[in-house]
Structures are given as C-alpha cells and as structure tokens.
Amino acid sequence: MNKMLFRLVISQFKLFFREPGVVFWSFGFPVLMAWILGIAFANKGEIERNIAVVAENPEEVYLVPEWLLNKTGTASTKYSRESGLEWKVGENHGEQAHFRFLVMSEDAAILALKRGQIALWIEGSPERDLRFRFDPNNTDARLTYLLLESAFRKQKSLNRKTEVLPLTTIGIRYVDFLIPGLMAISIMNACLWGIGWNLIELRIKKLLRRMVATPLKKSVFLLSHGLNRMFISAAELLLLYVFAHFFFDITIQGSLLALSLIFLSGYSAFAGIAVLISSRAENTQSGNGLINSVTLPM
C-alpha cells in the first residue's frame, strides 16, 4: 500500500510539472505579483496632499489669503494661481509632510472633493481660527487633518481650538464612492468568471468542437453568453442600488442614459477580455491564473 501511494504521488508530481503553464501560475505568478506590488507601493516617498482653501470673498478666489501665509510662515511669492501654495514640514523621515493649498470657491471645493482631487478643505480668517471640513469616515481625510493640524501647532499658528465640521452632504461621502466601485467590481466578475470561466470549461470538455459541427453560428453562441450574464449583472446592480438607496440614501445624479451607456461600455470591455482569456487558457489552472492576473490589479 505504501509503495502504491508513493507511486501515485510521484505520478501526480509528474503530471503537474508536465504543464509549464500550471507551474508558472503556481510558483511564478505569486512571486511576480509580489515584485510588482512591492515596487508599486514601496518607496513612494511623501505623498503630496492637496487641500482646498475656501475663500469667503468671491473676489479673493484667486488670491492666497493673508492668514494662510501667516499660519504656514511662507512667502506670497511661492504662490501661483495654477499650482497653489506648496508647504513642506518636518525634518525626520517619519515627521515629513507635503501639503499643497489650492484657493477656490466652496462649489469648486465640493466638485474637487467628489473627483478625489482633494481630501478636505479649510476655512479661516485673521479674526478666528481654522475650520476643517471633511468626511470623518474617510481615513485619508482624517490622516490629512491630523497631519495638517500638527503642522500648524508646530508653527504655533493655532491660537484657539480648531473646529471640525463633518461633511455629510450626499455625493461626497465615502460610501458614495464605495457603492459605484462595488458595482464596477460586480460587472468585472460577472464577465470574467461568468463568461470567461464557462467558455474555458467548454473548451476543456471539448464541447466547443461539438458545437462547431452544428448549424449554430459562433456569433449567436457568444451573444447568448453575453446577454445571459448581462441580464444577471443588471439584476445584481439593481439589487445593490435599491439596498444602498434605502440604507445609505444614495441616489442617481445625472442622466440615466449616460449611466446605461457606461454600463454597456464597461460590460463590453470586460466581456471582450473574458473571451480573450478563454481563448488562451489551456486548462482550469492557467485559466484561473489568467483571470486573477486581470482582476487582482484592479
């Protein structure tokens, strides 16, 4: 029995190493991803944090406020209308911070926050201390606030207690960015796993060769898979939106036609990638690796 077990284990090893693609996706792909992600996220240096400075007077939108120059201790010559005011603090590696202040109106600040161009905005004047406006649920905004407040206190430019005004406006909350991201991931998984994996299994089981011998057109066959997953994906997105609407009070802002076109274009793009992956995969192991190589970076 022991000899039989030993021979079976050896035969399984031989079958495994006989497929170069399986060996690569089992041993080479994890090392390759560790190398790529390590380079991408390591040694990035200090992140530049963009901060909006909301001007109370509309005539001063394109002028750096005097109170900001006093609090940062920088000269007005370092300010430009295009790039804003740059401020670097800290000498040690763990204490360094890099800020860029952009003077704009409140409406422009809200739009920049929705687009992810800034993490928070500040309001102030010579008569009172600063007011910080950000979403407390956004970890990046909270970190930026803590770093900025610490930098101001080291400059001894905060005479009073700072005021934090949480942003709860619909459209600029953290969950308003989370739900669309989950919808995009749902579309990607529906295409790559729903279409790509099914086609891979049909190729491995030699069922596609049998279908070629039938009067069935290739375009009709692919279209059936695409429409099937598209209807299922649309139902998933609708269910997710209904839940987010009643639980998080999320609404669709903008044109429904534009949203439908975005859905169709994104679905078509991922469906094309799924067909490409299924045509290159030789077995389930390599197919699994190819799909993960596409989904993991995203």
| pLDDT at residue 286 is higher than 80 | no
pLDDT number for residue 265: 92
| pLDDT at residue 77 is higher than 60 | no
The answer to whether 163 and 132 are in contact (CB under 8 A) is yes
Residue 5 token pair:
């077990």
pLDDT number for residue 153: 76
- pLDDT one-digit tens code per residue, 189-236: 888 888 888 888 888 888 777 777 778 787 888 888 888 888 888 888
pLDDT number for residue 128: 60
Q: Tell the burial category of 228 from Cβ atoms under 10 Å away from its Cβ (0-12, 13-18, 19+).
A: middle
Q: Give the number of other Cβ atoms within 10 Å of residue 94's Cβ.
A: 5
Q: What's the fold here for domain 48-166?
A: D-Maltodextrin-Binding Protein; domain 2 (3.40.190)
Q: At 37, is the pLDDT very low, low, confident or very high (cuts 50, 70, 90)?
A: confident
Tell me the domain boundaries of the chain: 48-166, 174-295
| pLDDT at residue 152 is higher than 80 | no
Q: pTM score, two decimals?
A: 0.66
pLDDT number for residue 243: 92
Closest by alpha carbon to 173, among 220, 120, 137, 147? 137
Q: At 64, is the pLDDT very low, low, confident or very high (cuts 50, 70, 90)?
A: low
**Mean pLDDT taken over the chain:** 78
